Amino acid sequence: MKKSLLLVIAASLVAACQTTSGNEGASARSTASPDFGDFGPWFNAERSIGGDAYRRVTTTTSDGGQMLMEQFSVASGQCVGRDCQNNSSRQERQENIYDYPRHGSQRQPKEAWYGWEIMLAEGTAWGTDQAIGPIILGQFKQGGVNCPLFIFKHQAGYTDPAIEMALPRGTGLPEGEGDCVQPVSSQAGDVRQLIGTWGRIELFVRWAPDETGLLVGYFNGRKVMEHRGATCVEDCENIYFKYGIYYANQRERASKPVTAFYRNVSRSLDRKSLVASSGP
């Protein structure tokens, strides 16, 4: 991202948030609505903080154009319900596959492309400056299955600045620390590449519970993961996407606030049809 665009965003965020903010049902109250491609409606995921933790923000770019972003914020110690027992915090939007069912019982096309772009706020703490725990910035879940099918994350609390793509699996332990492991993972980049700069994630997924499954992941146009094997569990029913911030199982030290901006979250049957940015 060009520095001039960052300065414009920083200068205009407060005023923009006052005019375009929204939480549940934001698509009706906002002055603008993002293009989500083939995705249907969204809602605040269970145990999300709510309120001003989610906003739609329109900013003016350096060339005078308008850019629509979604802003997610999680402050230190914020939690709802069972997340408080697990020292977890979240503000996520979830694909509403139950009220608006599509694509059969799987709720996803058998094969699809997915894309989203993320920018972490300037000054975001990472690594050992944060509490130990994964900061998840996009995940696929399946109804009735505890662990995500896929996550994009930074493992905070350690010296490693990596951001990863991973396919977690359950251990059989109750929800909380140690309930999920990552038998398949790949480093996508460095979390510092997302601080004050847009990063683009693209996935091709063939949903299947066996060796016919396929997941190929790209970060900023570079292929960083290719997994051949199961991409969902058993009947593969009720698969849905969530995006925002999920800071799970925080420990060892107090967490610091995290703010993330999203744009161009979309699904398509081919890569060329994904919603993508025309500018920086």
Alpha helix (H) residue ranges in 21-126: 26-29, 82-85
- Tell me whether residue 278 is in a domain: no
Q: Which domain holds residue 38?
A: 3-273
Judge contact between 55 and 41, C-beta under 8 A. Answer: no
The per-residue pLDDT for 65 is 85
The per-residue pLDDT for 63 is 85
H or E stretch including 74? strand 66-74
- For residues 43 and 106, give the distance between their C-alpha atoms in angstroms, rounded to a whole number: 19
The per-residue pLDDT for 201 is 98
The per-residue pLDDT for 60 is 82
Judge contact between 192 and 161, C-beta under 8 A. Answer: yes
Cα-atom radius of gyration of the chain, to the nearest Å? Answer: 18
The per-residue pLDDT for 171 is 84
If one counts the domains in the chain, the total is: 1
The per-residue pLDDT for 62 is 77
- The neighbour count for residue 160, using CB atoms within 10 Å, is 16
The per-residue pLDDT for 59 is 83
- Tell me whether residue 203 is in a domain: yes
pTM: 0.87
| Residue 214, φ and ψ in degrees, nearest 5 | -150, 135
- For residues 21 and 28, give the distance between their C-alpha atoms in angstroms, rounded to a whole number: 11
Phi-psi region of 157 (alpha: psi -120 to 50; beta: other; left: phi over 0): left
| Residue 246, φ and ψ in degrees, nearest 5 | -130, 105
SS3 154: strand
- Tell me whether residue 137 is in a domain: yes
Q: Which residues of the chain have pLDDT under 70?
A: 1-31, 278-280
- CATH (domain of 117): 2.60.120.200
Judge contact between 22 and 29, C-beta under 8 A. Answer: yes
- Tell me whether residue 189 is in a domain: yes
- Tell me whether residue 279 is in a domain: no
- Tell me whether residue 280 is in a domain: no
- For residues 259 and 249, give the distance between their C-alpha atoms in angstroms, rounded to a whole number: 18
Judge contact between 164 and 152, C-beta under 8 A. Answer: yes
Specify the pairing of strand 150-156 against strand 89-95: unpaired
The per-residue pLDDT for 174 is 82
